[in-house]
């Protein structure tokens, strides 16, 4: 099994945990680094209002920071599910979280409870079996 396949299996494997136990912490806490188009997709008509409130910052021409700590991502519904989960334009950051596969290693998001409480351990073991480190 390739590393990205393991990561995808792991992301799918924790989906119930994400909704029922974690309540989509990563969509409610912190900052998302997004492209201009991704910001539009996520916030739509709320963009001007969120900019006024200082919740969207332009980092440079390509990267915008959307704060989801004060107000959850507008695409998160009341049942802690992502309304654009199946949209092919959903940000790669959202698709990859909490496992970012690099050459020979995997970055596991330190803020994710599933990374820290053992929920992802069986997949970490699979990564190690193919020679990948978890950092």
List contacts with ligand SF4 (CB under 6 A). 14, 17-18, 22, 24-27, 32, 42, 73, 75-76, 82, 84, 90-91, 94, 97-98, 112-114
Task: Give the shortest CB-90-to-ligand SF4 separation in angstroms.
Answer: 6
> CB 2 → ligand SF4: shortest distance, Å?
21
Q: Which is nearer to ligand SF4, 14 or 56 (CB)?
A: 14
Nearer to ligand SF4, 14 or 131 (CB): 14
User: How far apart are alpha carbons 74 and 41 in whole angstroms?
Assistant: 10
Strands across the sheet containing 56-58: 31-34, 64-67, 56-58
φ/ψ of residue 5, rounded to 5: -65, -40
Query: CA 30 to CA 125: how far, in whole Å?
Result: 28
- Cβ proximity to ligand SF4, 63 vs 131, nearer residue: 63
- For residue 109, the 8-state DSSP code is P
Cβ closer to ligand SF4: 6 or 14? 14
Phi, psi angle pair for 124, to nearest 5° = -60, -40
């Amino acid at each position: 099994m390739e590393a990205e396949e393991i990561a995808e299996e792991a992301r799918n494997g924790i989906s119930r945990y994400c909704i029922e136990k974690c309540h989509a912490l990563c969509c409610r806490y912190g900052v998302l680094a997004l492209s201009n188009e991704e910001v539009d997709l996520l916030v739509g008509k709320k963009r001007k209002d969120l900019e006024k409130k200082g919740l969207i910052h332009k980092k440079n021409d390509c990267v915008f920071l959307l704060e989801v700590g004060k107000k959850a991502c507008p695409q998160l519904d009341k049942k802690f599910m992502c309304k654009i989960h199946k949209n092919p334009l959903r940000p790669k950051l959202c698709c990859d979280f909490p496992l970012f596969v690099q050459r020979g290693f995997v970055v596991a998001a330190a803020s994710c409870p599933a990374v820290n409480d053992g929920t992802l351990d069986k997949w970490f073991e699979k990564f190690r079996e193919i020679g990948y480190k978890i950092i």
